[in-house]
Amino acid sequence: MDGIKHHLTEELLIGYAAGTLPEAFNLVVASHVSMCDTCRAALESYESVGGAMLEEAGVTLAEGSLDLCLARLDDEVGPIAARPAPGVLPQPLRDYVGGDVDAIRWRAVGGGVRQAILPTSKAASARLLFIPAGAAVPDHGHRGTELTMVLQGAFADETDRFGRGDVEVANEDLEHQPIAEAGADCICLAATDAPLRFRSLLPRLAQPFLKI
């Protein structure tokens, strides 16, 4: 997809190719790769290198390993489409949700912001966020890694602007307050492997109920 400025890191792509990422992160990677020619090409190269290394090492897989692996990929995020599907959600995410945005069951979290928590493994959590145009999410830091991929509209924070297809990779060093760009509501896919660190009291009090 043209216009993508912010890509996945090498570590995330290698982790995806090696099967070491949590399910929530896999969902973000698969969704981004389905829209981004650059990251899809890089992923294919990492997968080729990994396959060559296994062949050189003479590793023998147990009977049925390939079938189990393919079944797991289908259950978690589905196949990665070569081109973005029409609509808001990319194909891997659409397969996961069971449709496009009209299939999402949103829950209000305050200030017009809504979320939909997606069922994933306990290693990390994934959610869809709806942020009204011009609205901000609470100022926060991170206790781990947060991946945020823009699906519709755009947001900006202290680091840059992120539009459709872009992924922001945040870690413990970043404290920010994303603000949705005026003109269009922003929809994002976010995955975290640790709770966020909110500055304000109200978000901290609501955090256990919102599971952020």
pLDDT-derived band of residue 194, with 50, 70 and 90 as boundaries?
confident
If asked whether residues 179 and 146 sit together in one domain, one would say yes
Higher per-residue pLDDT: 31 or 56: 31
DSSP letters, 147-205, are EEEEEES-EE-SS-EE-TT-EEEE-TT--B--EEPTTS-EEEEEEESS-EEESSHHHHH
* Structural domain span for residue 110: 101-210
Residue at which a domain ends, from 47, 68, 97? 97
- Report the pLDDT value the prediction gives residue 48, as an integer from 0 to 100: 83
Please indicate, yes or no, if residue 186 is contained in any of the structural domains: yes
Domain assignment of residue 110, yes or no: yes
**Token digits of residue 195:** 């709770």
The CATH number assigned to the domain holding 126 equals 2.60.120.10
Task: Identify the pLDDT of residue 159.
Answer: 87
Does 4 reside within a domain? no
Q: What is the model's pLDDT at position 4? A: 96
Q: How confident is the model over 92-124, as pLDDT tens digits?
A: 999 999 999 999 999 998 889 999 999 999 899
Is residue 27, in this structure, part of any structural domain at all? yes
Report the mean per-residue pLDDT for the chain: 82
Residue 189 has pLDDT above 60, yes or no: yes
**Domain presence at residue 169:** yes
pLDDT for residue 211: 61
Top mean-pLDDT range of 19-28, 55-64, 129-138, 174-183: 19-28
Read off the amino acid at residue 181.
E
Nearest CA among 36, 32, 17, 2 for reference residue 167: 32
Under the banding of pLDDT at 50, 70 and 90, the label for residue 3 is: confident
pTM equals 0.78
The last residue of one of the domains, among 65, 97, 129, is 97
The answer to whether position 3 is within a domain reads no
Quote the pLDDT of residue 47: 87
Q: Which pLDDT score is estimated for 67?
A: 54
Q: Strands, E, within the chain: which ranges?
A: 107-110, 113-118, 125-131, 140-142, 146-152, 155-156, 161-162, 167-170, 179-180, 186-192, 196-198
Q: pLDDT tens digits, residue range 49-103?
A: 754 544 555 555 555 545 544 454 455 555 565 555 578 999 999 999 999 999 9
The amino acid at residue 163 is G
Instruction: Specify if 16 maps to a domain.
Output: yes
71 and 112 in a common domain: no
Q: Note whether 107 and 199 are same-domain residues.
A: yes
Q: Do 28 and 123 reside in the same domain of the chain?
A: no
d(CA 196, CA 203): 10
Number of domains composing the chain: 2
Name the band, by pLDDT with cuts 50, 70 and 90, for residue 138.
confident
Q: What is the DSSP code (8-state) at residue 143? A: S
Last residue of a domain, one of 97, 126, 161: 97
